[in-house]
Amino acid sequence: MLLQTHMSLWQDASSNLSGPRKQQTNAKPGLDLHQDQLDRLRDYGFNEQEARFLYLAATHSGYFTRHQFLSFTHKTKGCVVHRFTTKLLTQNHAQAIQYGYKTYVFRLTSRKIYDLIGKQDLRDHRSHTSDFIRRRLLVLDFVLSHPDLQYLESQEEKIKFFHEQPDRPASLFLGQTDRESLDPSLSRFFKDRFPFFVSARNGSTPVSALPTFVYCDPAHHGISWFADYLNRHQLFLSRLPAFELIYASPGYWKFDRASQVFTTLFRNANRLDPEHLARYFQIRRLWETRQHGSLTRADRDHLRAGDKQYKGEPFESAYQKWFAAGLSELDLNAFLGPSFLRQEIGFRSHLLPDSYDFLWYKNARRVRPSLQNARSGFRSASRSRAKALQAVATSELSG
């Protein structure tokens, strides 16, 4: 579907996708890129499946459920998850939070686990609301269903990716002259820690990759959170030559509305006409140099419209450079970047498997081991500590 003459938007007809576009993923599977971290987890006593799950859960969520572990490992027997969670609890690598009857959410809290995977900055001891926990579980559901994508997991990796793109506009990093100097202000776009991955687009080189943003939305809330997210990121996204956004939610009934909000916002984004902008700069210069007599009524109308359309960055910086050095129209195109001339935007929806309604229960409580402050270490864990957790383990087997 072609929107206006400058922006194209592709959109899948299906509202439930089994996975991201296969033809775009030519890179080595994501988890294979972290083999050193997985080896350290295995050396510490976790098997292959446990290590892979732990890496994904700690990196992308910090929380997980028994069902997520069983689904990832393709197991159905309770003894598998019982062995895994007991190991985490007895070594104080995780906390178990009970919601309702025999329903537990496990929170990874161990400094050792995050040290082993090199993600010390992701360890968080703050208490979180049910909405926060639900969203982290939704994020983990998406990642577990697509574990081998090339995720950019840290804010530094994400910012560096945009710096290294050969076709990114200079306006993406206003005030930045050194490509090696990362703009810390961009980190505000990635504080929500939603999944973000890259893949080759249209047979291009790996360097020129398609960035894909994933927004995970709970089923119980309206579409306003998604609309706020788009509004906060609109300026940043509009400067990219191409990007894709995946709307992931357990509420399939929200897909059509989310698509409408996304399409309307970017369809009405007033894509740049270089000739129109250049004419606005010329008229503005005449106005600011007090050459009012040379302006026609049409010029004044053009000036008023341009003041609204080209308010703020990156247009103000472009005007100042044009005013000082007399940039040509082609120079303006180079400064503003190709995303202002033609931008490819993709939108897809993805159905998540669980809405985690049990988080509505108000009687959530943390399950505390009786010897919580005892020295950790699975092999040296005392029998009394294991007994203190027997109630949780038994409910896992029967739950």
254-257: long-range pairs with CB below 8 Å, 24+? 254/217, 254/219, 254/223, 255/15, 255/349, 256/15, 257/223
Distance of alpha carbon 53 from alpha carbon 108, whole angstroms: 12
The secondary structure of the chain, three-state, reads CEECCCEEEEECCCCCCCCCCHHHCCCCCHHHHHHHHHHHHHHCCCCHHHHHHHHHHHHHCCEECHHHHHHHHCCCCHHHHHHHHHHHHHCCCEEEEECCCCCEEEEECCHHHHHHCCCHHHCCCCCCCHHHHHHHHHHHHHHHHCCCCCECCCHHHHHHHHHHCCCCCHHHHCCCCCCCCCCHHHHHHHCCCCCEEEEECCCCCCCCEEEEEEEECCCCCCCHHHHHHHHHHHHHHHCCCEEEEEEEECCHHHHHHHHHHHHHHHHCCCCCCHHHHHHHHHHHHHHHCCCHHHCCHHHHHHHHHHHHHCCCCCHHHHHHHHHHHCCCHHHHHHHHCHHHCCEEEEEEEEECCCCCHHHHCCCCEEECCCCCCCCCCCCCCCHHHHHHCHHHHHHHHHC
Q: For residue 6, what are its two tokens?
A: 């400058």
Closest CA to 346 of 244, 269, 259: 244
Q: For residue 43, what are its two tokens?
A: 């050396």
pLDDT at position 382 is 43
Contact 350, 213 (CB under 8 A): no
Lowest model confidence (mean pLDDT) among 27-41, 66-80, 102-116, 134-148? 27-41
Q: Which domains does the chain have, with CATH numbers?
A: 1-18+152-271+345-354 (no CATH), 28-149+368-399 (1.10.10), 274-340 (no CATH)
* pLDDT > 90? residue 6: no
Most confident of 1-15, 140-154, 191-205, 340-354: 140-154
* pLDDT > 60? residue 337: no
pLDDT at position 205 is 47
Distance of alpha carbon 66 from alpha carbon 79, whole angstroms: 11
**pLDDT tens per residue across span 237-277:** 877 878 999 999 999 999 999 999 999 888 755 456 677 78
**pLDDT tens per residue across span 153-203:** 888 888 788 877 766 655 555 444 333 344 545 556 677 889 999 987 654
* pLDDT > 60? residue 339: no
Q: How far is CA 201 from CA 161, 207, 226, 337, 355, in A?
A: 15, 10, 26, 18, 32
pLDDT at position 279 is 86
Contact 345, 266 (CB under 8 A): yes
pLDDT at position 65 is 95
Termini Cα distance of the chain: 48
Distance of alpha carbon 218 from alpha carbon 254, whole angstroms: 10
* pLDDT > 70? residue 333: no
pLDDT band at 82 (very low <50, low <70, confident <90, very high): very high
Residue bearing the bigger pLDDT, 215 or 236: 215
pLDDT at position 289 is 87
pLDDT band at 41 (very low <50, low <70, confident <90, very high): very high
Residue bearing the bigger pLDDT, 17 or 135: 135
Closest CA to 351 of 262, 202, 249, 277: 249
Residue bearing the bigger pLDDT, 76 or 373: 76
Share of the chain above pLDDT 90, in %: 36
Share of the chain above pLDDT 70, in %: 67
pLDDT band at 96 (very low <50, low <70, confident <90, very high): very high
Mean pLDDT of the 208-227 span: 91
Mean pLDDT of the 309-332 span: 69
Lowest model confidence (mean pLDDT) among 48-57, 110-119, 278-287? 278-287
pLDDT band at 2 (very low <50, low <70, confident <90, very high): very low
Contact 29, 8 (CB under 8 A): no
CB atoms within 10 A of CB 11: 14
**pLDDT tens per residue across span 42-69:** 999 999 999 999 999 999 999 999 999 9
* pLDDT > 50? residue 120: yes
What are φ and ψ of residue 216, in 5° steps? Answer: -105, 120
Q: For residue 209, what are its two tokens?
A: 């990759």
Per the document, the length of the chain is: 399
Question: What is the chain's mean pLDDT, rounded?
Answer: 76
Mean pLDDT of the 370-384 span: 41
pLDDT at position 366 is 67
**pLDDT tens per residue across span 263-273:** 988 875 545 66
Q: How far is CA 216 from CA 78, 107, 211, 247, in A?
A: 28, 19, 16, 6
Contact 65, 104 (CB under 8 A): yes
Q: Measure the CA angle with vertex 388, ends 383 and 390; round to 5°.
A: 90
